[in-house]
Amino acid sequence: MLLTPLGEIEILFDNEEIEYDYTALLCDPSSFPDLDGRFFIKLNFKPDGKRHTISCRIKGHIPNSNDDIESGENLELKSFYRGTTKLSIGMEGDSGYFIDGTRASDTYDYDNDYLPDGVEYIVLGTTETEEYVFAIAWIDPFTEENEIQTWEGADPYGIRLEHQTFDK
């Protein structure tokens, strides 16, 4: 298990904890001078035509009023705070629905959701994607000037660009 300052990271498939591997990433001083940790988790799952969830959670996290959704283009991300520590968990996605019920994204064939203690992929009955990634970054202490580094450091797409070994 990956241990962070806010607690252990657990990965759940349909609410059942599963084993996972993670990769420690460089906190490049030119890009992320204040980051204390940065990790990448890649999971493979062959869809079976049924709805499933794949969650990344901070075990035992007590929600904080500062916890916040910080999404971006092709990025669904939530940040969590405790004391002087900020931790962000990012996943690939751009989900949502228009008022008529059609999907807002034609790039991704799954949905994303935000949880009080983490984030989640929702594999739909029509999903064909077989790879799901989470990126985690934290900083202590965070300030108004440096806290953007967790957002940038927990962007899975940016990590893929940095490390071609994580190709889809």
- H helices within the chain, ranges in order? 148-153, 156-162
Averaged confidence pLDDT in the chain: 92
CA angle 38, 44, 49 (to 5 degrees): 135
Least confident of 68-82, 100-114, 141-155: 100-114
Nearest CA-CA partner of 61 in 9, 97, 129, 109: 9
- CA–CA separation, 134 vs 149, rounded Å? 16
Evaluate if residue 143 carries a pLDDT over 60: yes
pLDDT recorded at residue 163: 63
Nearest CA-CA partner of 137 in 160, 122, 159, 115: 159
Evaluate if residue 27 carries a pLDDT over 70: yes
- CA–CA separation, 61 vs 78, rounded Å? 13
Q: What is the pLDDT of residues 55-68, one digit of tens each?
A: 999 999 999 999 99
Mean pLDDT (whole number) for 29-43: 94
Evaluate if residue 164 carries a pLDDT over 60: no
Evaluate if residue 168 carries a pLDDT over 50: no
Mean pLDDT (whole number) for 12-17: 98
pLDDT recorded at residue 102: 74
